[in-house]
Amino acid sequence: MKKILPFILCLCLLALSGCSDRVELQDLAIITAAAIDRLEDGKTRISIQIFIPRSITSGQSGEDPSLGSTFVREGIGDNLANAVSMLQINVPRKLFWGQCKIYIFGNKQAKSGIRDAIDFLARHPSPRGTSFLYVSEGEAKQILTLVPPLERYSGEALRKLTVDERGLITTLRDVDMGLMGESESVSMPYIKTLVSKEKGRKPHETIPVINGTAIFKKDRMVGVLNLKDTRGLLWLKDDVRRSTISIKPKGEDGAITLTPTLGEMKVSPQIKDGRWMMNVSIDIEGDIVQNETHLNLMNVEVMMKLTKEYEAALKERVTQTIEKLQQEFKTDVIDFGRRFHQKYPKEWRKVSGKWDEKFPEIEVKFTVNAKVRRPGYIGPPAALPRDEVKN
């Protein structure tokens, strides 16, 4: 008996305590994306996109492809927590938040403040800290109902767009930290529904695309940067992955287009005689992807000139963005505040409460150091008689 007793006790451990939190996949409603909107009456509505596993069973597919493999359910409540608790009522399976990597805020919600929602998402154990946050043009729920022609559901399309393509990545943790940090501001990708011009496709058979950057001051959205300024912002955040820059050399009709390959940005704050300055130096390399001019790129002098123009173009771009941030939004989404705090903690203490007043006054100096490494497979312009090539 003495020998069997521990064995029985171990068995009890498995039989009694185990299995209690076991959930089969068949009993889970996998949430792929969530949208948070503010309604007219001030209530919060959360909409979730739930994946239908039956829809992609191989072989027998009787489903209408235009219906997509997801459906949307919503819950309404005084705040996000209440709204989420209302969700479960309309879904027969247990809601599973573990794989939800997309949270979209509606325009109205973003303008009226997102702090409460962020608190819920960060406090709740299920949402991931690495999930992506977006602000949508108009109602966020609309984004969830889209049926992408290529991906399985719109959440996946959005995630792939963010990870693989140009654009800003803002995670839940970034927002939490950004709002807590020195600048008390944060930026999020601003998305809209892509209008498909294809005939025969229904209007909802399209995907959400990134159309700029929403700028948050404190927890409220104060404005939107357009795509071009977003590119500048990415330069400032040292986060450029894919982009092109076109320059027009003097005396030429066409433009030369480059794509940056390697880039390094250094930011060094400086306080001199009470003037707050920020020195931003960008080291960049680029490849030429298109040459519309008649210039021969194999010529060293042409290349030198080109490099200068390339630097100037880049400088103009970032200057434009920083001016917009400083003058129009007065919002430090590029975290200059933290840099000053790190280097000049004493001086920082004086301005810490009124950084949004100080930020527009900062002088930002750009030094761009560009190199054009590869003119591509061909040197002189293609499809042009030799005598028309300018050296």
What residues line the site for another protein (CB under 8 A)? 14-15, 17-19, 21-26, 28, 30, 32, 51, 53-57, 96, 98-99, 101, 128, 152, 156
Segment holding 314, helix H or strand E: helix 300-323
Backbone dihedral angles phi then psi of residue 253, each to the nearest 5 degrees: -80, -45
For residues 260 and 237, give the distance between their C-alpha atoms in angstroms, rounded to a whole number.
15
For another protein, which is the closer residue by CB, 70 or 331? 70
* 3-state DSSP assignment of residue 298: coil
Q: How far apart are the first and last CA of the chain?
A: 99
| In the complex, minimum distance from the CB of residue 55 to another protein, in angstroms, rounded to a whole number | 8
Reference 191, options 168, 174, 173; nearest CA is 168
| In the complex, minimum distance from the CB of residue 119 to another protein, in angstroms, rounded to a whole number | 21
Residues near 309 by beta carbon (within 8 Å), at least 6 away in sequence: 247, 248, 249
For another protein, which is the closer residue by CB, 52 or 271? 52
For residues 74 and 53, give the distance between their C-alpha atoms in angstroms, rounded to a whole number.
19
For another protein, which is the closer residue by CB, 18 or 379? 18
Q: Which strands form 245-247's sheet, in the order they lie side by side?
A: 245-247, 256-272, 275-291, 363-374
What does DSSP say about strands 185-193 and 132-136: parallel, antiparallel, or unpaired? parallel
For residues 193 and 237, give the distance between their C-alpha atoms in angstroms, rounded to a whole number.
26
For another protein, which is the closer residue by CB, 18 or 376? 18
For another protein, which is the closer residue by CB, 50 or 247? 50
For another protein, which is the closer residue by CB, 55 or 193? 55
| In the complex, minimum distance from the CB of residue 37 to another protein, in angstroms, rounded to a whole number | 24
CB atoms within 10 A of CB 7: 9
| In the complex, minimum distance from the CB of residue 13 to another protein, in angstroms, rounded to a whole number | 8
For residues 201 and 219, give the distance between their C-alpha atoms in angstroms, rounded to a whole number.
38
Reference 281, options 263, 269, 260, 267; nearest CA is 267
| In the complex, minimum distance from the CB of residue 99 to another protein, in angstroms, rounded to a whole number | 5
| In the complex, minimum distance from the CB of residue 11 to another protein, in angstroms, rounded to a whole number | 10
Locus of tokens 């390094």:
264
| In the complex, minimum distance from the CB of residue 121 to another protein, in angstroms, rounded to a whole number | 15
For residues 228 and 224, give the distance between their C-alpha atoms in angstroms, rounded to a whole number.
11
| In the complex, minimum distance from the CB of residue 83 to another protein, in angstroms, rounded to a whole number | 22
For another protein, which is the closer residue by CB, 163 or 378? 163
- Tell me the two tokens of residue 296: 């021969």
For another protein, which is the closer residue by CB, 54 or 373? 54
